[in-house]
Amino acid sequence: MMMQKWRRSGDFIRFGRKSLTNLRSKEDSVSRSVSGFVNCCESKGKLFEPNAGNHNTELDHRCPGRNLGIMQQYKCFGSSSASQIQRNPLFSSLDSNDVSYFKEILGEKNVIEDEERLETANTDWMHKYKGSSKLMLLPKNTEEVSQVLNYCDSRRLAVVPQGGNTGLVGGSVPVFDEVIINVGLMNKVLAFDEVSGVLVCEAGCILENLANFLDTKGFVMPLDLGAKGSCHIGGNVSTNAGGLRLIRYGSLHGTVLGLEAVTANGNVLDMLGTLRKDNTGYDLKHLFIGSEGSLGIVTKVSILTQPKLASVNLAFIACKDYLSCQKILVEAKKNLGEILSAFEFLDNNSMDLVLNHLDGVRNPISSSENFYILIETTGSDETSDREKLEAFLLKSLEKRLVSDGVIAQDINQASSFWRIREGITEALQKAGAFYKYDLSLPVEEIYNIVNDLRGRLGDLANVMGYGHLGDGNLHLNISTVEYNDKILGLIEPYVYEWTSKHRGSISAEHGLGVMKANEILYSKSPETVALMASIKKLLDPKGILNPYKVLPQSFFSP
């Protein structure tokens, strides 16, 4: 069954100059299911955002939030500003009456004081951010979330909403002693409509469980992430997770049809529509998509899922220059438009890194080239999809946009191609110290920042670029022998300033969390950030929801 999806396309397997005979060797050590390989291709890319080192850069006049207190409560490898936060003195401290109240509401076993469990819940999965909460609450339903929040608000107890705790910017763990509200027990599928494809579920559903549920119905989730085995749909929505399928199905702002959220004072907002079209008033659910739990706790989600399509094809191609990559993207959108499901790129430095540091990985293109692209198609008709992809690639070859390439003939080959793209962060870790940025930029600018940074850093570091080219999302990596202030000083704020100058985003898909809360002005105008702060104050006047995150603290004078 699996093999059928990767039928040999004999005419194309060697459409370039180079031999691909070694493709079927033992290199394909990663064995995954079809859904597995599709799902995992961004896992490593998503799972690290170190900017490792514990340094401060000079204050930036555009970032009023940087000039804060100096108490450092948590370990910080990240951005400078995150190391300078004071606990808000207006927040109460937990006492035994609070704990008793919570036990009354939630039952003894769902009020967690156990040190070991708290240690886990206080720590993000990268062990990069760590809080010191003394309590984790596990509500079973919306009403309990409401009661808990209402109480916390009245007592001015700060809280941190938590899902699968797979975030990359310190958004899902406490900074100080915030009460952790984990929605993991709210994990029921509430409804699925096979006609419309609309799924309604509780926020604590693990993404992979939803994917498995849908698979039995012949549907797929419109998003897919490397962290899917742990992350919750509520967390996905709250962080506006991007992931692999964005190029095909768009962002959660388009696919989430409705949600239920509880605001800081326990107010339950029922916005759980299941309709594709509804123009009755302001579409407030969008405030909660991507606000990282700082405006409310998402408790239920309604999402448009997609029919599972039978045919998947994957090509790995090489290009001489970045301009060719760009041109191929434009052509692919035109010629593969409706079946294009991934368009990823990496440069030769990234390829070399993977080849040098990971076992069993080989370049499918037998000699090296400056750039590589993975093009995946997903459609309903295997024969025509494959023909379409082959025709497109041959045309690109004739136009000399492509210098060589292969189409995977089975799941193992496909896995081996994805392994290269996935393996970059793993290889980075093995190579030594590294600084990593997740940027959105206009496609034509994407590689300029890589080149500029190379010029700036010279022999001090190895600068690499790869990412979701189809979405304009660059993962910029700088690999060095060791972390040091000089190199970081050359990188930051240069990278942020460069990104800002080109109207890019300093966080394409990871959010701001505590790591980049004070850097928001690099990507958003002061007037817009001021309005965000006003909306935060409107929905959470006491500021108890996920404090110190998303927005600069300077907007909230105690």
**Stretch 377-396 residues interacting with its own copies (CB under 8 A):** 378-381, 384, 387-388
551 interacts with its own copies by CB under 8 A: yes
**Rounded Cα–Cα distance for residues 288 and 259 (Å):** 9
Q: Which is nearer to its own copies, 125 or 555 (CB)?
A: 555
With CB under 8 A as the contact rule, which of the stretches 14-22, 36-44, 58-66, 470-478 interacts with its own copies?
A: 470-478
Q: Which is nearer to its own copies, 146 or 165 (CB)?
A: 146
Q: Which of 136, 401, 520, 545 binds its own copies (CB under 8 A)?
A: 520
Per CB under 8 A, contacts with its own copies among 164-193 are 193
CB of 98 to its own copies, least distance (A): 26
531 interacts with its own copies by CB under 8 A: yes
On the CB side of 263, how many CA atoms lie within 13 Å of its CA? 19
Q: Which of 172, 409, 550, 553 binds its own copies (CB under 8 A)?
A: 550
CB of 53 to its own copies, least distance (A): 22
Nearest to residue 159, comparing CAs of 173, 142, 143, 139? 173
Give 64's DSSP letter: G
**Number of residues counted as binding its own copies (CB under 8 A):** 95
Q: Which of 30, 47, 105, 443 binds its own copies (CB under 8 A)?
A: 443
279 interacts with its own copies by CB under 8 A: yes
Q: Which bin fits 227, alpha (ψ -120 to 50), beta or left (φ > 0)?
A: alpha
Q: Which is nearer to its own copies, 158 or 515 (CB)?
A: 515
Beta bridge partners of 181: 137, 161
Nearest to residue 372, comparing CAs of 383, 360, 363? 363
Q: Which of 10, 281, 455, 558 binds its own copies (CB under 8 A)?
A: 281
528 interacts with its own copies by CB under 8 A: yes
Q: Which of 114, 270, 398, 485 binds its own copies (CB under 8 A)?
A: 270
The answer for residues whose C-beta is within 8 angstroms of residue 72's C-beta and 6 or more apart is 83, 84, 85
Per CB under 8 A, contacts with its own copies among 22-41 are none
Q: Which is nearer to its own copies, 157 or 512 (CB)?
A: 512
Whether residue 415 contacts residue 39, with contact meaning beta carbons closer than 8 Å, is answered with no
47 interacts with its own copies by CB under 8 A: no
Let me know how long the chain is: 558
376 interacts with its own copies by CB under 8 A: no
CB of 116 to its own copies, least distance (A): 32
With CB under 8 A as the contact rule, which of the stretches 54-62, 90-98, 194-202, 350-358 interacts with its own copies?
A: 194-202
**Strands 159-162, 179-182: pairing kind:** parallel
Q: Which of 30, 47, 52, 268 binds its own copies (CB under 8 A)?
A: 268
Beta bridge partners of 304: 198
Q: 10 Å Cβ neighbour count for 131?
A: 22
DSSP string, 167-193: -SSS-SS-SSSPEEEE-TT---EEEEE
284 interacts with its own copies by CB under 8 A: yes
With CB under 8 A as the contact rule, which of the stretches 116-124, 142-150, 353-361, 374-382 interacts with its own copies?
A: 374-382
Tell me the backbone φ, ψ of residue 196, rounded to 5 degrees: -90, -20
Q: State which amino acid sits at residue 29.
A: S
Per CB under 8 A, contacts with its own copies among 403-442 are 440-442
Sign of CA dihedral 482, 484, 489, 490: negative
324 interacts with its own copies by CB under 8 A: no
Per CB under 8 A, contacts with its own copies among 131-160 are none
CB of 302 to its own copies, least distance (A): 10
242 interacts with its own copies by CB under 8 A: yes
Q: Which is nearer to its own copies, 133 or 236 (CB)?
A: 236
Nearest to residue 355, comparing CAs of 342, 370, 368? 368
With CB under 8 A as the contact rule, which of the stretches 98-106, 118-126, 479-487, 500-508 interacts with its own copies?
A: 500-508
239 interacts with its own copies by CB under 8 A: yes
Sign of CA dihedral 521, 524, 525, 527: negative
Sign of CA dihedral 535, 541, 543, 545: negative
CB of 238 to its own copies, least distance (A): 11
275 interacts with its own copies by CB under 8 A: yes
Beta bridge partners of 311: 379
Q: 10 Å Cβ neighbour count for 439?
A: 25
CB of 366 to its own copies, least distance (A): 30
215 interacts with its own copies by CB under 8 A: no
CA distances from 486 to 109, 457, 460 (A): 50, 10, 10
CB of 378 to its own copies, least distance (A): 8
The answer for residues whose C-beta is within 8 angstroms of residue 59's C-beta and 6 or more apart is 66, 67
The answer for residues whose C-beta is within 8 angstroms of residue 2's C-beta and 6 or more apart is 33, 34, 410, 411
Q: Which is nearer to its own copies, 141 or 274 (CB)?
A: 274
**Rounded Cα–Cα distance for residues 466 and 237 (Å):** 25
Q: Which is nearer to its own copies, 250 or 360 (CB)?
A: 250
Q: Which of 75, 368, 534, 541 binds its own copies (CB under 8 A)?
A: 534
With CB under 8 A as the contact rule, which of the stretches 64-72, 155-163, 322-330, 395-403 interacts with its own copies?
A: 322-330
Which residue is it, tokens 């034509």? 444
Structural tokens at position 35: 């859904």
